[in-house]
Amino acid sequence: MSELDLNNKTSEMLANSEANVKNSKKNFTRPEDEKREVVAPDGSIIEVNPLYDYFSNEKPKEEKPRGGVVEKFLNWARAESIWVLGFGTGCGSIEIPPLVTPRFDMFRYGVQMRPTPRQSNAFIISGYLSVKTLKRVIRTYEQMPSPKYILALGSCTINGGMYYDSYSTINRLDKYIPVDVYIAGCMPRPEALLHGFVKLKQLIKEGKAEKANEYARNFDEYKANQKKIIKDWNMPDYNW
Amino acid sequence: MNIYAKLAYTILGFLIVLNWGFLMGATMRKIGARMAGRHGIPFKQPWINLFKSISTRTVITHGIMYYIGPVFRLTGGIGLFLFMPMVFTGSPDGPWTNFSFEGDLILIMYFNVFGMLGMALGAGEGGHPYAAMGITRGLAQHAAVELPLTLAFLSIAIQFDTFSIYKIVEAQQGGIMHWVLFTNPFAAAAIILAMLGALGHSPFNLVKAPNEILIGPATEYEGTYLGFMMSAGATLHVMEAVLFMNLVFGGATSWLELIVKSFLIYFWSVFVGMVFPRFKIEQSVTWFFKVPLLLGVLAVIIFMF
């Protein structure tokens, strides 16, 4: 294939993909992430789907605990080292910063903040959760390594709280992602959050905090609930 | 000394260094917490974090280079340890001199950069766009730190006419006034200032500070990879402190002396970090190119003539 032909072919493909973008009404993917054909340097034509460079569509697997003394020891380590993702989802996130101050000092319980989902194993859903944020929460939760725990802070995560009839927030959090510990109140004080951590540690040590496996087991049910409420679903079903 | 005995001493020495690195890190965080009026983390926290990281059930990999990145970093730490004389016992073939040899200073300078390069390769394959940005900033700062450090090392090498760390330590024995700190004050000053960057505490910790938006090379690493990186960090902190101790502060004649001296050297960087807020990369690079670099050049010029 000569260079001129290559150029013609490329510009034709670009025009086609632009036309596709214009024609399709409900398309939430960016034009550069569209599935398309590209010309390789040697002239061959290959099909690419850039969306799958970012995500994988494989379903989560249930990872059985090892059991025995080893699992007990590992659970102790997990309980004494809880790394919380620094992601405030609602008004309750204002209750998290006081935890690092001298008055509350969560570090003495082995609780730390981490900036990336890859390194954290606990996620605080702090207060009301708008549908727009729910999408980000799902993506982030799925990127966290298992075993992972969710603390739901405030009444809004239990029954919607004062936003029970809002058009843009969800009412029951555990329809969308599994929750380990609920901390009721509007807003719960930092002491209540610390108590939630202590409760979570107790659950982990007893081996009862296996909600990540529950999510994998009931994956289809959770996904159906999530898709019912998130209208602009532009990601694969599971984000590794 | 029998090679098997040497190997046993080396492995034992590494275990001491690794655990001392964890304990030292926890102590420094405790000191920071006490300064802020908090209780801070328990002393056992680094070990718990390590076990927890290893116990992670799902670990995502992005390819072979991504996997090798933390391994390279740990190799850098172990390499520093393997060729560094730890405790001065009066004989180059003594029990705690590891595998040090003539000219090990050059190899040690290489291992200092080795881990950083490994992380650059690994983070590059991680696919996170900010990781590449973070590692670029890390390498820029590291280059700025290495320049005054290398000049100071050269000055010390010219002063004692050797590239062997063991001989440099040997030449400093016999009293505090024999230390490079007093016999070559310009090189010592350059090292003491550049050391702040090498140990990577505030104000020069923008690269790995978790609360920066671009958290840099470590963004994608989790589970066992993170455990590797934590072990490597602990080893590197102790080994860099030991390197500066050997070159400037007269080495150590016992493990106790090594522990006290490395603690104080590491504490110097924590002490500065408590006082100064974090620098931006361009600020830290210009800072290293001003006073420490000039001191390094001066130290070399003095001993050249």
Q: What is the pLDDT of residue A222?
A: 94
Q: What is the pLDDT of residue B201?
A: 84
Chain B CB contacts of A207 below 8 Å = none
Would the CB atoms of B48 and A110 count as touching at under 8 Å?
yes
Residues A44 and A104 in one domain: no
Domain-embedded: residue A136: yes
Residues A178 and A213 in one domain: yes
Would the CB atoms of B60 and A110 count as touching at under 8 Å?
no
Tell me which of A52 and B303 has the higher pLDDT. Answer: B303
Chain A CB contacts of B221 below 8 Å = 118-119
Mean residue pLDDT across chain A? 87
Residues A82 and A190 in one domain: yes
**Residues pairing with A83 in the sheet:** A112
Would the CB atoms of B40 and A80 count as touching at under 8 Å?
no
- Residues with Cβ < 8 Å from B220, sequence gap 6 or more? A116, A118, B60, B62, B66, B123, B126, B127, B128, B131
Q: What's the pLDDT tens digit per position in B125-156?
A: 877 777 778 888 888 999 999 999 999 999 99
To the nearest whole Å, the CA of A66 is away from the closest chain B CA by 10
Q: What's the pLDDT tens digit per position in A185-238?
A: 988 999 999 999 999 999 999 999 999 999 999 999 999 999 999 988 877 778
Specify the DSSP element, H or E, that contains A7.
helix A3-23
ipTM of the complex: 0.89
Domain-embedded: residue A220: yes
Q: What is the pLDDT of residue B212?
A: 62
Would the CB atoms of A110 and B42 count as touching at under 8 Å?
yes
Residues A100 and A9 in one domain: no
Domain-embedded: residue A60: no
Domain-embedded: residue A107: yes
Q: What is the pLDDT of residue A152?
A: 94
Residues A37 and A124 in one domain: no
CATH code of the domain in which A152 resides: 3.40.50.12280
Q: What is the pLDDT of residue A10?
A: 73
Chain B CB contacts of A239 below 8 Å = none
Considering only CB atoms, A145 lies closest to which of B33, B42, B222, namely B222
The count of domains in chain A is: 2
Domain-embedded: residue A159: yes
Q: What's the pLDDT tens digit per position in A118-151?
A: 889 999 999 899 999 999 999 999 989 989 999 9
Predicted confidence (pLDDT) at residue A11 exceeds the cutoff of 90: no
Predicted confidence (pLDDT) at residue A21 exceeds the cutoff of 70: no
Residues A108 and A182 in one domain: yes
Q: Answer whether the bond into residue A187 is a cis peptide, omega within 30°.
A: yes
DSSP-derived letter for residue A130 is B
d(C-alpha B173, C-alpha B253), whole Å: 9
Considering only CB atoms, B52 lies closest to which of A78, A115, A212, namely A78
Domain-embedded: residue A207: yes
Predicted confidence (pLDDT) at residue A46 exceeds the cutoff of 70: yes
Chain A CB contacts of B52 below 8 Å = 74, 77-78, 80-81, 121
d(C-alpha A125, C-alpha B244), whole Å: 46
**Residues pairing with A153 in the sheet:** A126, A183
Kindly tell me the number of DSSP H helices and DSSP E strands found in chain A. 8, 7
Residues A163 and A209 in one domain: yes
Tell me which of B181 and A50 has the higher pLDDT. Answer: B181
Q: What percent of chain A has pLDDT over 70?
A: 90
Residues A93 and A212 in one domain: yes
Specify the DSSP element, H or E, that contains A151.
strand A149-153
To the nearest whole Å, the CA of A129 is away from the closest chain B CA by 23
Residues A87 and A192 in one domain: yes
Would the CB atoms of B59 and A147 count as touching at under 8 Å?
no
Q: What is the pLDDT of residue A31?
A: 76
Q: What is the pLDDT of residue B66?
A: 87
Predicted confidence (pLDDT) at residue A24 exceeds the cutoff of 60: no
Residues A73 and A145 in one domain: yes
Residues A38 and A117 in one domain: no
Domain-embedded: residue A85: yes
d(C-alpha B226, C-alpha A147), whole Å: 16
Residues A83 and A165 in one domain: yes
Whole domain around residue A124: which residue ranges? 68-229
Would the CB atoms of A105 and B60 count as touching at under 8 Å?
no
**Weakly modelled stretches of chain B, pLDDT under 70:** 210-216
To the nearest whole Å, the CA of B50 is away from the closest chain A CA by 9
Pairing of strands A149-153, A122-126: parallel
Domain-embedded: residue A236: no
d(C-alpha A43, C-alpha A3), whole Å: 9
Q: What is the pLDDT of residue A238?
A: 81
**Of B23, B164, B190, the residue nearest B103 (C-alpha):** B164
Q: What is the pLDDT of residue A131?
A: 93
Strand blocks (E) in B18-70:
none
Q: What is the pLDDT of residue B134?
A: 81
Between chain A and chain B, how many beta carbons pairs sit less than 8 Å apart? 82
Query: Under an 8 Å CB criterion, which residues of B touch A?
Result: 33, 36-42, 45, 48-49, 51-52, 55-60, 127, 210-212, 215, 218-223, 226
